[in-house]
Structure 1
Amino acid sequence: MSVAPAQAYATPEPLISVASNVLPTPTVIQPIPASIQLPATTVELDPLAPTMESDELTDQPIVETPRPTGDLSSKVAALRGTNPGSRELECLAVGIYYESKSEPLAGQLAVGQVIANRAKSGRFASTYCGVLFQRSQFSFVRGGSYPAPARSSRQWENAVAVAKIVDGKLHSSSVPNALFFHAKRVSPGWRLARVGSVGNHIFYR
């Protein structure tokens, strides 16, 4: 298909010879007075046509992840997995894993809550990773690193789930204000306020 070039005028204007004494008549553009009302351009909308909500204009639909319900075991089962989803949750899960992987879920939740409490206390680092790598706080951290957890194990999957529960405030710990803990088998003689005992650990603030 070919398209003819657009024509500027319906009838071409005659050419004037250079030697001619006839001067061309200039074209004067007359402004439109403000008093003249121009016809309004209207767009007819179909009242039955569906409208677009603001959320529908985004590239991806907004899908909210349902919050798990039930007891702690049910929430852990719903959130269990091998991938924490972020570096911060990875650090929180690692702390839970190495400090309490053999503990009941309530004990793991309490350990995770201590790490979260420290991060927001102002007395420690302000992130989970910062708390984890703070000097002389966790014995499994050596030289600024920690051993790789067994990511295919159920214990790691539980730690990931508990980390998500702690971070999302999805379940209350029985020691909500604790900042310190130690195993029952040791007696460090801390002069701290004891807030409770969960599993094989004693918790303080």
Structure 2
Amino acid sequence: MSRILNAASAAAVGMTATAMLLLAEPGFASDLAASANLPAITLPGADAPQRDPADATTTSEQPVVTLPQSPLSENPDSERRDEPAAEPKPALDIDSLAELVAATDRPAEIDPELRCLAGAVYFESRGESLAGQLAVAHVVINRAKSGRFPKSLCGVVHQPSQFSFVRHGKMPAIRNAAQWNNAVAIAQIARDGSWKTQAPGALFFHARYVSPGWRKTRVASIDNHIFYR
């Protein structure tokens, strides 16, 4: 019996010694992790373990997470740069309506509403002073805003039996380019409200040589026209 116990003790000691030798053998821990299908742990600063490309038995590889890079770091030229603010245009030093007309640029394309307004100025008052032309333009604008006439400038100008120069719903041809350009400038000034009219609130006017007998409030008398509201 004692011999059997001694043999068992010797076998246990031998197995312990063998296990200690195996644990001390380089590469045993990594082989053990691979055989147990466990993720490899890489300490900070250490090189990641190299895998054999031919090894297709590993199915628990940890996913590699790539953080997105800042767009500014990818393209330094895309960084926002503060651009200097545009300098405001200096205000025009205008002392008279004539100077404002001269400083007003004619648009490259005249929109229909401006054309109708300029047509009223041209055909009704091109021979009048600039103040008289401006007053005529404001009559058209005031009518469109009053609610008593058509709401558009063209509607006011082409309203039947209102402006004698409109014939069969159309305006005559323009024959004087300089006076037309002047009328366009007056129309722009009136529409923009950039110069005060001498006939504020006027909705009607007639030539001095006629007497329609209107019972309306007289607003102003400018050149050859008398204005009412």
- What is the TM-score normalised by the length of structure 2? 0.64
Look up the match of 1:191: 215
The one-letter code sitting in structure 2 at the alignment partner of 1:91 is: C
Question: How far off its partner does 1:51 sit?
Answer: 2.0
Q: Which digits, 9 at most, give the CA deviation of each residue in 1:106-144, with x for residues without a partner?
A: 000000010011111111111110100011100011111
Residue identity matched to 1:106 = A
Distance 2:87 2:169 in 1: 38
Contact 1:83 1:160 in 2 (8 A): no
Task: Choose between structure 1 and 2: higher helix proportion.
Answer: 2
Residues 1:129 and 2:154 are matched in the alignment = yes
Q: Which residue of 1 aligns with 2:197?
A: 173
Map 1:51-62 → 2, pairs under 5 A: 51=81
Q: Tell me which structure has the larger Cα radius of gyration.
A: 2
Query: Secondary structure of 1:197's partner?
Result: strand
User: For 1:170 and 1:187, how far apart are their aligned partners in 2?
Assistant: 32
Cα gap change, 1:155 to 1:43, in 2 (>3 Å): closer
Tell me, yes or no, if the aligned pair for 1:194 and 1:202 is still in contact at 8 Å: yes
Determine if the alignment matches structure 1 residue 41 to structure 2 residue 69.
yes
Cα distance between partner residues in 2 of 1:147 and 1:65:
39
Report the CA distance between 1:165 and its aligned residue.
0.3
2:180 counterpart of 1:150: no
Equivalent in the alignment of 2:186? 162
SS in 1 for 2:205: strand
TM-score of the pair, normalised by structure 1: 0.71
CA distance change for structure 1 residues 66 and 110 in 2, over 3 Å: closer, same or farther? farther
Give me the whole-angstrom Cα distance separating, in 2, the residues matched to 1:171 and 1:30. Answer: 80
In structure 2, what is the Cα distance between the partners aligned to 1:168 and 1:184?
29
Task: Give the Å deviation of 1:50.
Answer: 5.7
> Cα gap change, 1:143/1:187 in structure 2, threshold over 3 Å: closer, same or farther?
same
Give secondary structure in 1 for the equivalent of 2:226.
Answer: strand
* 8 Å CA contact retained: 1:84, 1:160: no
- Structure 2, gaps ≥5 residues long: 1-51
RMSD over aligned CA atoms reads 3.6
Greater relative contact order, per chain length (Cα 8 Å cut-off, separation 6+): 1
Report deviation, 1:41.
3.0
**After superposition, what is the alpha-carbon deviation per residue over 1:20-75, rounded to whole angstroms, capped at 9, x for unaligned?**
xxxx97x867786xxx997563355669x66277xx9xxxxx99987754110001
1:87 maps to 112
Count the aligned residue pairs. 173
